[in-house]
Amino acid sequence: MAHSKVKTYTLEEMKNKHIGMLGTEPREQYEYALRMEIISEMIRRTRLERKLTQEELGQLVGVKKSQISKLENNANSATINTIVRVFKAMQAEISVSIKLENKTLELA
């Protein structure tokens, strides 16, 4: 019995095939949603590491518990200002890196 070789694909190849190439609207929406999901998870993990409830974090930030819950479940509607305020309230350092024409700009 002959062994057939199994074709393997990289994650990038799979995303290109099933979501779309970089620069296309579906792919941009996917990448944005993924980044927002990561931010949401980072907020939740940092809060838990600081041993804060959503209510306590909300009090530190000056928002209701429900807004913290929304941020942790889906940061899509959050502004950068809100995200920064949340991390600052937890005394977490934030750094942002922006790549522009082969130059990296960093904001810490």
Domain CATH code at residue 71: 1.10.260.40
Residues 89, 66: Cα–Cα separation, whole Å:
17
- What pLDDT was estimated at residue 33? 87
* 87 in a structural domain: yes
- What pLDDT was estimated at residue 17? 93
* 72 in a structural domain: yes
Q: Per-residue pLDDT tens for 51-96?
A: 999 999 999 999 999 999 999 998 777 888 889 999 999 999 888 7
Look up the pTM and report it. 0.75
- Domain containing 53 equals 11-107
Residues 58, 67: Cα–Cα separation, whole Å:
8
Are 27 and 21 in contact by the 8 Å Cβ rule? The answer is yes
* 5 in a structural domain: no
Q: Where are the alpha helices (DSSP H) in the chain?
A: 11-18, 25-49, 54-61, 65-73, 80-89
When the pLDDT of each residue in the chain is averaged and rounded to a whole number, the result is 88
* 51 in a structural domain: yes
* 45 in a structural domain: yes
Q: β-pairing, 103-107 with 96-100? A: antiparallel
| Tokens 């998870």 belong to residue | 41
* 63 in a structural domain: yes
* 4 in a structural domain: no
* 52 in a structural domain: yes
Q: How many domains does the chain have?
A: 1
